[in-house]
Structure 1
């Protein structure tokens, strides 16, 4: 049977680091096994906030790549200081913590670069790809965002080539994302954001969401939306790891892997751990608080000024391979989400790699979140609100006692549905049903 061809437009691609890269990197890896030949269109000179050269090994050797130049204001803004670099990575201070430079950057970004600072790639990319698609047949087109500017490339192509089958993949929501309200938008800018989002939902043949709640919200806005979550590939470091691996740790290690900024800072957890270290000498001796990734300076300073300073192991940013190994060398894996009700549909990509380790997961976020649904279904951990201090303390104490007795890491259940290969099969089934 002749393979179908799919063109994927993505901003993030190796050597870019972070979870946003891996979704389509993994789909591309497995699509040929299900009868689809991928081509990837990316910028030739992007400005990535994080670089991870180790991800290059996951790019298929025979993958067809198309690249064109991009101009983006971040390349200038980075010269003005640290705040702009943090903002490019999706991190920014709020309230009293904002510098005047940060406030100005946020205002300019939200009101002048709509939907985002990669908008200058839209027109030249649409013109280039219109000619390319007329000369080369593809059965489907994918745009994946953020940056949501890429969906405007798809929108422009769909209007020029109405028979083109277009899939708009939203790794994060557009106007419903938690920091949208912090963008200092004028009424005009807010309306423009929402009108463009509505056009994408109306014209895309399929809209993909990474969470159940986001898919439902997109459907309410008129999209033909479906949920295909992120997943895991069952690789830890350079070694294959069986689901539920029970590597015992010499310390009772609570690890956070990834970027942690103030908007998702579980202060109640640091207070609880601080109290436990002061109250229980044995716990203080056994406990390690490990960070693998970018930790906000203010969060780090607060921990260093508490009793937890002697338990702290801050490794800083590491490559993906090292990060996976550090997950495995942990007792409990920490995950945090934004506390607002509007964030309950966010499923951080790291939860799936957490699941693959078989380690106990401690999660923070709004009540009835999609993450809570996954943890309950897989029996892999517990989800708490940011105000459940007593319940959090009881959970940590119970988990610590299980670690002491060697009964901590019980095998999770029903997690194979989140393997990258099974998710690619789900994607292919959806495309075959909806597009043809």
Structure 2
């Protein structure tokens, strides 16, 4: 049994999207020959919501270490809020201690808290252990460079320059890459030519049916984040918003407006709920969806709640919707991390995604819903309106191809991760 040390600053019970791959993979690593040990930041040093149910799926025999972090109360005075930066020194000390007393074959970074990745080359040099990086999002990105300053993330000037400096430190010595998008790998291979010779694989997040069983078992503890009226039809999207999703939202709303104009009695029953659209602390998020509805004159039909909701409440919400929408970015490399729960909810599904998005391919291949492209100038608004009528008014449910969907199960995608780990180990033996 080979041993992998996993670095994931946010982890259960913290409700963070970037820890879901590992949470869903932990039950299967041993089956494919790898014994996992995980190092996370103690939840009390984070400012994200927690969900105790997230820990239910963690095997009891998995060893989990926790590290401290500098208090955000003090570091924010210097403009530093990142959990990766606040925990960096503590990670170095703790993992040094672990590696001095225990032998590991591989270090695996699976997080979007990117600054912690610079410890990879340090541990590789000090302990002669290869490391693999899981690129769930772009790290150093030029996406916002040609966007209006008002649409750039907070502290963009600082983070952009820090990312540009830190990324090469971590990537140039990496021994393997996993990514949710081929586009991310293509960018990194072009930026760092040495990476072309290391094992790399596109592996999306896995589908984990057990999460739905946890929700059903605890059904009575959940509350819907919107008021459900049986005389209305509720279309739900749970996930982040942002200016990069304006094209997708506008296409959806234009289809709705056309339906209102042609079939007012039917379409006036529709209500759109956008939930958890901001990563900002509770009560401080800025709406990015509702203003589009207001500009288009349909705000009476649209509700946006910026506060994030716990993971299992998200599933509960999807199961109580009349229909679901997947809203994507106009960045072709973006992939929607919640694609699988949307499919597993078995509700009428409409998606607005860039044609190069992996989520678009998954939904199409599994016949799980209708996908509209956000990067076509001739987007057919009439078709969007027709689909909304079919799925919500006529209540046409998808005929999901479950045998195709099985390819994306957490178990199968954990095997792919382990296969890549084995390739890294084999390539190290060849080099030595």
Please give the TM-score of this superposition, normalised by the length of structure 2.
0.78
Is 1:345 paired with 2:333? yes
* CA distance in structure 2 between the aligned counterparts of 1:66 and 1:180, rounded to whole angstroms: 39
1:372 maps to 360
CA positional deviation for 1:166: 1.1
Q: 2:8 aligns with which of 7, 10, 32?
A: 10
Q: 2:141 aligns with which of 171, 176, 182?
A: 176
Query: Structure 1, residues 197-247: CA drift from partner, whole Å, max 9, x if none?
Result: 22322212112111122123223333233211112102436239xxxxxxx
Q: 2:87 aligns with which of 97, 100, 121?
A: 121
* CA distance in structure 1 between the aligned counterparts of 2:392 and 2:160, rounded to whole angstroms: 50
SS of the aligned residue for 2:272 comes to strand
SS of the aligned residue for 1:254 comes to strand
CA positional deviation for 1:309: 4.7
* CA distance in structure 1 between the aligned counterparts of 2:40 and 2:103, rounded to whole angstroms: 19
Task: Give matches, 1:130-279, under 5 Å.
Answer: 130-162=96-128, 164-176=129-141, 178-179=143-144, 182=152, 184-185=156-157, 193-220=163-190, 221=192, 222-223=194-195, 224=198, 225-234=200-209, 235-236=211-212, 238-239=215-216, 252-265=233-246, 266-279=249-262
CA positional deviation for 1:425: 1.2
* CA distance in structure 1 between the aligned counterparts of 2:21 and 2:397, rounded to whole angstroms: 30
* CA distance in structure 2 between the aligned counterparts of 1:344 and 1:302, rounded to whole angstroms: 22
Distance 1:369 1:402, change over 3 A: closer
CA positional deviation for 1:180: 7.2
Query: Structure 1, residues 75-97: CA drift from partner, whole Å, max 9, x if none?
Result: 654xx9xxxxxxxxxxxxxxxxx
Distance 1:233 1:75, change over 3 A: farther
Whether the 8 Å CA contact 1:213–1:370 is kept in 2: the answer is no
* CA distance in structure 2 between the aligned counterparts of 1:419 and 1:75, rounded to whole angstroms: 42
SS of the aligned residue for 2:289 comes to helix
CA positional deviation for 1:175: 1.0
SS of the aligned residue for 1:176 comes to coil
1:416 maps to 406
* CA distance in structure 1 between the aligned counterparts of 2:325 and 2:74, rounded to whole angstroms: 33
Whether the 8 Å CA contact 2:245–2:328 is kept in 1: the answer is yes
CA positional deviation for 1:41: 0.8
- Deviation larger for 320-329 or 381-390: 381-390
Is 1:330 paired with 2:329? no
Whether the 8 Å CA contact 1:74–1:117 is kept in 2: the answer is no
1:93 maps to none
Query: Structure 1, residues 152-178: CA drift from partner, whole Å, max 9, x if none?
Result: 12222112122x121112221111374
Distance 1:263 1:120, change over 3 A: same
Whether the 8 Å CA contact 1:273–1:308 is kept in 2: the answer is no
CA positional deviation for 1:11: 1.0
Distance 1:363 1:425, change over 3 A: same
Q: 2:287 aligns with which of 280, 283, 297?
A: 297
Q: 2:20 aligns with which of 5, 19, 22?
A: 22
Query: Structure 1, residues 7-58: CA drift from partner, whole Å, max 9, x if none?
Result: 1111111221132221111112221232322111112243233333331222
Aligned CA-pair RMSD: 3.2
CA positional deviation for 1:149: 1.4
Q: State the number of aligned residues.
A: 387
Query: Structure 1, residues 322-350: CA drift from partner, whole Å, max 9, x if none?
Result: 211322333442222332xxx21221211
- Gaps of at least 5 residues in structure 2 are 147-151, 218-229, 279-285, 427-432
* CA distance in structure 2 between the aligned counterparts of 1:369 and 1:20, rounded to whole angstroms: 18
CA positional deviation for 1:250: 7.7
Please give the TM-score of this superposition, normalised by the length of structure 1.
0.77
Is 1:398 paired with 2:387? yes
SS of the aligned residue for 1:71 comes to coil
Is 1:319 paired with 2:310? yes
1:60 maps to 59
